[in-house]
Chains A and B, each alone.
Chain A
Amino acid sequence: MEYDKLVPSPTPDTQPYWTGLQENKLCLQACADCGKVRHYPRPVCDACYSMNAKWIDASGRGTVHSWTITHYAFHPGFKGDLPYILVTVDLAEGVRMNAQVRGIATDDLRVGLPVQVGFDKATDDLTLPVFEKA
């Protein structure tokens, strides 16, 4: 079946994030000079204005900061997922990311819930992050 959800259009600045996911790794961009981790990927470090970047393997561990449970398909590709939970997670590296959850019930959601990143192979070219109970 053809994949009918929205897909990302990576740029040279962001491609390593997506390549990492395809290898079941969560990679985050960091400043190659001062070391500050930043997400989402971008050209300039806002701490020291360096344009030199590196990529680090993140722990994938974090805690729930907030969430929403979507009951309406704003894009037809997501109709089959309804209702779906999107969590906003504080990663151990000090940045946040969001993703859908796998195996976490609505009643279990709370601020501070420990979670671990997992990987959902959507297509041969696209792996998306998901969060599971840690």
Chain B
Amino acid sequence: MSLREKAAITGVGETTYLRGTDRTPLSFQLEASLNAIRDAGLKPTDIDGLIPYGHGAVAEDFITNFGIPDLRFSATTPMGGASCVAAIQAAMAAIAAGICKHVLISLGRTGYSGGRIGTRVQQMPQFRTIGEFEMPLGAIAPAQLYAPMARRHMEIYGTTSRQLAEVAVSTRYHASLQTNATMRTPFGIDDHQASRMISDPLRLLDCSLESDGGAAVVVSAPDVARDLAKRPILVMGVAEGHPDSPSAITQRPDLTTLGLAKAAPKAFAMAGVDRSAIDVAEVYDCFTYIVMCQLEDLGFCKKGEGGGFVENGALRLGGKMPVNTHGGLLSQAHMAGMNHIVELTRQLRGEAQAQVQDAEVGLVTGYGDMGDGAVAIMRRA
């Protein structure tokens, strides 16, 4: 059985994104969830499946707060920034099996006001190996763990920091067109080059934000999706992929290939479309390099050609492949990629603030935990 079009995104919701709050991740997660459920035209009690993100909330919180009478499915997909897109696959499998009809995928976090990333990763079980063997050497935060991937790409393929800057510049431009983005002042390649070095070759403007807020989506069975408030966005293809040596980038045979390289061919085959069909792409952007690498792993260009692919504003609205039209993790807010699913849905509905004209088919990726990947290809019904 294929999961092709066995579910649709029927509701999306966000909170206001912030840098500074005294609220809890749970409170953000519940607010975003209520917004997504309302957007779909559903009641909270209609939700019969849950995939909450991370440690901010558990299924029990939703049953308690929403009065859900008959929760039939709950799961988590612990893949860091790939969790949200991987959750779409899990939700579809549950829906296609007839277990449930409306799965809520939700996220809330206080990345700005709570513990910062360098502290958070020390507590994650998937970072246990790194914690013993690399953190004592001073390799602690994702910027430091990922930088050698970018450096290797630069040394082998001639990729430049100015090419990485293209990703940051186009993403910020898209954020400048949004009402709900935390960083909206546009900048140019030279501004990127002047930003301070964090872990060479990654500069400050290569790095994503720390943010407070929440985002959520509702995934529904196609037969019930048709009768809801908004035009359903059908999931044509979905897959997750795990890299070789998932616990330690250091030991990965090819530092420049991510788990997404295994997922992408499966998702495109399931969807039955080629890369040329993609009108808009929301690509997980914890760092500029990770966007470029994923564009290669997705098959938009060959391995090593990502630097040339992103040049000359190719990723801007109106460019050859508009990417991260909401401003992404780099400039809108770090919502671990849930905001990317929200944005793709809005693009395909035709209700985005930086709308790609006549966007019919698009894709969204997740990336996390040192190389896990997930991708979903969607179309408007």
Contacts and interface: CB of A to CB of B under 8 A. Distances in A.
16 contacts: A7-B136, A8-B132, A9-B131, A66-B151, A68-B139, A71-B197, A74-B143, A75-B138, A78-B138, A86-B148, A88-B250, A97-B250, A98-B137, A99-B137, A100-B137, A128-B137
A74 B251 contact: no
A100 B117 CA distance: 22
Interface in B122-153: 122, 129, 131-141, 143-144, 147-149, 151-152
B132 A100 contact: no
Kindly name the residue among B129, B137, B200, B202 whose own CB sees the greatest number of chain A CB atoms within 10 A.
Answer: B137
B156 interface: yes
B156 A96 contact: no
A57 to B, nearest CB: 18
Interface residues of A, number: 37
A107 B116 CA distance: 32
Could you tell me the dominant secondary structure of chain B's interface residues?
helix
Contacts, number: 107
A39 B134 CA distance: 12
B138 A84 contact: yes
Nearest to B134: A98
A72 B199 contact: yes
Interface of A: 5-11, 14, 39-40, 65-72, 74-75, 78, 81, 83-84, 86, 88, 95-100, 110-111, 126, 128-129
A40 B152 CA distance: 21
B196 interface: yes
Contacts of B250: 88, 96-98
Interface of B: 117-118, 122, 129, 131-141, 143-144, 147-149, 151-152, 155-156, 196-202, 247-248, 250-251, 255
A70 B129 contact: no
B136 A72 contact: no
B155 A111 contact: yes
A99 B137 CA distance: 6
B132 A40 contact: yes
Contact of A69 (B132, B149, B200, B255): B200
Given A66-B151, A81-B138, 20 more contacts: A5-B138, A7-B136, A9-B131, A40-B251, A65-B148, A67-B148, A68-B139, A68-B147, A69-B200, A70-B198, A72-B143, A74-B140, A83-B197, A86-B139, A88-B255, A98-B139, A99-B137, A110-B155, A128-B137, A129-B137
B152 A111 contact: yes
B158 to A, nearest CB: 12
A129 to B, nearest CB: 8
A84 B151 CA distance: 15
Pairs of residues from A and B, 7 with the lowest C-beta to C-beta distance, nearest first: A68-B147, A74-B118, A66-B148, A69-B200, A74-B141, A66-B152, A74-B140
Given A6-B135, A40-B133, A68 B140 contact: no
Contact of A66 (B140, B149, B202): B149
A68 B143 CA distance: 9
Given A40-B132, A67-B151, A111-B155, A86 B138 contact: yes
A68 B151 contact: yes
Contacts of A8: 131-133, 136
Given A6-B122, A39-B251, A74-B118, A68 B144 contact: yes
Nearest to B249: A88
Contacts of B137: 86, 98-100, 128-129
A81 B247 CA distance: 26
A75 B155 CA distance: 28
Contacts of A83: 197
Contact of A86 (B122, B144, B196): B144
Contacts of A69: 197, 199-200
Kindly name the residue among B129, B201, B247, B250 whose own CB sees the greatest number of chain A CB atoms within 10 A.
Answer: B250
Contact of B140 (A10, A67, A75, A95): A75
A95 B250 CA distance: 9
Contacts of B201: 68
Contacts of B155: 66, 110-111
